[in-house]
Amino acid sequence: MSDEKVAGPRHVAIIMDGNGRWAKARHRPRLFGHREGAESLRVILEACRKHGVEILTVYAFSTENWGRPKDEVDGLMRLLKEFLKKDEKELHKHETRLRVTGRLGDLPADVQAELRRVMAATEKYTKGQLVLALSYGGRAELADAARRIAEDVAAGRLAPEAVDEQAIAERLYLPDVPDPDLMIRTSGEVRLSNFLLWEVSYSEFIFTPVPWPEFREEAFVACLEEYSRRSRRYGGHE
Q: Cα–Cα–Cα angle for 19, 44, 213, nearest 5°?
A: 20
Please count the other Cβ atoms lying within 10 Å of the Cβ belonging to residue 92: 13
What was the pLDDT predicted at 7? 67
Catalytic site residue 194?
A: no
Question: Taking the CB of residue 151, how many other CB atoms lie within 10 A of it?
Answer: 12
Check whether 3 has a pLDDT greater than 50. Answer: no
With cut-offs at 50, 70 and 90, classify the pLDDT of residue 2.
very low
Question: Does 237 score more than 90 pLDDT?
Answer: no
Assess if residue 206 is contained within a domain: yes
Are the CB atoms for 204 and 234 separated by under 8 Å? no
pLDDT classification of 234: cutoffs 50, 70, 90 = low
- The answer to whether position 119 is within a domain reads yes
| pLDDT attached to residue 6 | 52
The answer to whether residue 3 is domain-embedded is: no
The structural domain count of the chain equals: 1
How many CA atoms, within 13 angstroms, populate the side-chain half-sphere of residue 60? 29
pLDDT of residue 238: 52
H-state helical runs in the chain: 19-25, 30-50, 70-93, 109-122, 138-154, 165-169, 217-228
Q: Largest alpha-carbon pair distance within the chain?
A: 59
Which CATH number belongs to the domain containing residue 218 in this structure?
A: 3.40.1180.10
Catalytic residue among 19, 65, 164, 181: 65
Predicted confidence at residue 1, as pLDDT, reads 33
Q: Kindly state whether residue 13 falls inside one of the protein's structural domains.
A: yes
Digit-coded pLDDT (tens) for 135-174: 999 999 999 999 999 999 999 999 999 999 999 999 999 9
**Residues for the chain: how many in total?**
238
Segment 65-119, tens digit of pLDDT: 999 999 999 999 999 999 999 999 999 999 999 999 999 999 999 999 999 999 9
Radius of gyration of the CA atoms of the chain, in A:
18
* pLDDT at position 90: 95
Let me know if residue 152 belongs to a domain: yes
Q: Is residue 238 part of a domain?
A: no
Domain extent at residue 120: 9-231
Mean pLDDT of the chain: 94
Helix, coil or strand: residue 157? coil
Distances 224 to 7, 113, 178, 213, 229 between C-alpha atoms, Å: 9, 35, 18, 19, 9
Assigned domain for 74 exists: yes
User: pLDDT (tens digit, 9 = 90+) per residue, 5-48?
Assistant: 456 899 999 999 999 999 999 999 999 999 999 999 999 999 99
For the chain, give me the number of helices (H) and strands (E)? 7, 8
- 209, part of any domain: yes
The whole-number pLDDT of residue 113 equals: 96
CA dihedral 105, 117, 94, 174 (to 10 degrees): 30
